[in-house]
Amino acid sequence: MAFSCQETDKTADTPLAEAETAASLTDTTGMRPAPTFFVIPPDLAEKRVWICENTASDLFHVQHDCPVLVECKGKGSFRNLTIVRAIEDFGRYNCQTCSEGLNHIFDEELVR
């Protein structure tokens, strides 16, 4: 019979570690070039979103308490603006944590 000892990482089981992992997985893109294609349906044209004005994120958020947006605290300033302005003027993409349902905006192959 052979036994082996394996070290376990106890920090990965904490809720804080899970939130940090989710945030880091979501916002690992850094600044990408501004979207070249997007279609905003008329019912979303006036939708308000949040952005963090810093040099490390290119996302917009539909929830003001999104864990990825909260990570911005102390690293930049928050802005609330329309989704059209967030994409056109600030070159933002949707956050996969709080606004994954808006992926269709950037889908070139979607039949509209």
Question: Would you say residue 101 has pLDDT above 80?
Answer: yes
Residue 17, domain member (yes or no): no
For position 110, what pLDDT does the model report? 85
Report yes or no on 41 lying in a domain: yes
In this structure, is residue 13 part of a structural domain?
A: no
CA–CA separation, 27 and 44 (whole Å): 24
* Containing structural domain, residue 56: 30-106
What is the tally of structural domains in the chain?
1
Q: What is the mean pLDDT of residues 58-71?
A: 94
Q: Closest by alpha carbon to 84, among 46, 111, 56?
A: 46
- 1 lies in some domain: no
Asked, for residue 73, whether it belongs to a domain, the answer is: yes
d(CA 105, CA 26): 18
Report if residue 67 sits inside a domain: yes
3 within a domain of the structure (yes/no):
no
Q: What is the pTM of this model?
A: 0.70
